[in-house]
Chains A and B, each alone.
Chain A
Amino acid sequence: MWTWFHKLASPPHFYRLAKALSPWFLVPGLALIAYGTFTGLFIAPPDYQQGDAYRIIYVHVPSAYLSQMAYTVMAIAGGIGLIWRMKLSHAVAAAVAPLGAWFTFLSLATGSIWGRPMWGTWWEWGDPRMMSQLILLFLYLGYMALRASIDDTAKADKASAVLALVGVINLVIVRYSVEWWSSLHQGQTILAEGGPAIDAEMLYPLLANILGFALVFGSLLLRRVRTEVLYRERRTRWVREMILSPQGQT
């Protein structure tokens, strides 16, 4: 088991493995998104209360899930990198941050677009989830800014891993404090909580999209990690040999 683990951590091996795995994530992911989006937008019935406006959940919910999953990946990868000094793990953390920030932004943007017709406002300060997502976005931005301002890669890896781990604890505190805060200012969040149970015809496309987004995210992540590994290992022999080999890049 450990040899497998060590092999996985070796950059050239991972580089090839990621290339082989990437399409296995991408193709089913795109297929699921195509199914989910089509059924969600055209076949699923309109909501009796929200009409067609609810259909934005087919983008919103998957992005919100992924924004948090990406942070989890980032923190765990950073932690593994700090504890076991696994270089590959730091490359994963570096690669996942912009993806996570993007999905966080996407979930905020779609939430805000949905909020306009539903709540009558682009931005509802009283909604706890909007606030948590916003703080999550700032955490991502801080993480990327810290990484960008340290020139030494090894140092940037470790410093940002510490920040990511501190951020995890902070996110838990944010979650509960924001909930307490919003319960003070009763907002217009009636629709969000305790709405009617979701119909199966609406649910399946949503599940398909969540899974599809996750798979495409995985594929993008693999691609990004490959680029990151290639850049970090640019001075090593295996990269040179690979690039100079007659087949070109493999």
Chain B
Amino acid sequence: MKDADADLGEDEDRIFLSNMPGLMAGLAASTRRDLVLAWKRPGDVLNPLFFFVMVLILFPLALGPSAEQLQAIGPGVVWVAALLAMLISLNSLFSADYEDGSLEQWLVSPQPLPVLALGKSVAHWMTSGLPLVLLSPLLAATYGLPAKVIVVLLVTLSLGTIILSLLGSIGAALTVGLHRGTALLSLLVLPLAMPVLLLGSNSVSLAAGNETHTAGVWALAAYATAAISLAPYATAAALRISNE
């Protein structure tokens, strides 16, 4: 390897660099790869989704079918179920890549690691966040939430799941390769996720009570923006540490 490097003149360096795919290409490649993997193994995507649906079925079973009560707890329950389902899907975020060594290829690749990590999070959101968001109106309707509230639920859940994907990727990167990873991951991610849950489900509750709910939605949007910009760096740092 070393000799080959020494032989590269400046011209070849330039050619090498100009042939390198750009940032967007790196982002797209890392996203596409995970989407393809998810497509080939649909169980990984569907299981958290089934879990989400089943948690939402448990509450009416446990609390009784009183329509009033279900309507009151609906926003919170949907949010908690979504949070837990996201948490379940996070376990496997980096583990397969860690085991087969593709994570190490990431570390040595000339693409910036945060960009690749962001691509991973985008794919994770599309395979676990987005299906939850799309499914939630149906389930919220069974809880008797009115259409206007469901719109707020959709918006907050979309923003919230983006944040959870990104925060979760930090936790998953920190715990990758550890034996007790699963329980530890929840312990790390849940405190980080609490403000998201609080902002999201309370905005929906406020909307259900016909009060101004925009403050929480904007706060979530701000948080999502910050998470998209900053979390990949933390994930990248954590990945480097975990792979030492």
Binding site for B on A (CB under 8 A): 82, 135, 138-139, 141-142, 145-146, 149-150, 152, 154-155, 158-159, 162-163, 165-167, 169-170, 173-174, 176-178, 180-181, 184
One of A142, A159, A166, A169 near B241 (C-beta < 8 A): A159
Residues of B within 8 A of A155 (CB): 241-242, 244
User: What count of chain B residues pass the 8 Å CB interface test?
Assistant: 31
B175 within 8 Å of A (CB atoms): yes
Residues of B within 8 A of A149 (CB): 175, 178-180, 184
B139 within 8 Å of A (CB atoms): no
12 example contacts (A-B, Cβ-Cβ < 8 A) are as follows: A138-B194, A145-B187, A146-B188, A155-B241, A162-B174, A166-B167, A173-B195, A176-B219, A177-B198, A178-B195, A180-B219, A184-B206
For B238, B241, B244, the residue with the greatest tally of chain A CB atoms inside 10 Å of its CB is B241
B223 within 8 Å of A (CB atoms): yes
A146 and B216: CB pair below 8 A?
A: no
For A82, A141, A170, A173, the residue with the greatest tally of chain B CB atoms inside 10 Å of its CB is A173
Residues of B within 8 A of A154 (CB): 244
For B170, B175, B179, B206, the residue with the greatest tally of chain A CB atoms inside 10 Å of its CB is B175
Given A162-B234, A184-B206, check contact A135 B191 (CB 8 Å). Answer: yes
**CB-nearest residue of chain B relative to A139?**
B191
Main secondary structure of the interface of A (DSSP, over half): helix
Residues of A within 8 A of B242 (CB): 155, 159
B17 within 8 Å of A (CB atoms): no
Residues of B within 8 A of A170 (CB): 191-192, 195
For B170, B188, B223, the residue with the greatest tally of chain A CB atoms inside 10 Å of its CB is B188
**CB-nearest residue of chain B relative to A184?**
B202
Smallest CB separation, A146 vs chain B (Å): 6
Residues of B within 8 A of A177 (CB): 195, 198-199, 219
Given A149-B184, A162-B238, A163-B174, check contact A174 B195 (CB 8 Å). Answer: yes
B194 and A135: CB pair below 8 A?
A: yes
Smallest CB separation, B93 vs chain A (Å): 16
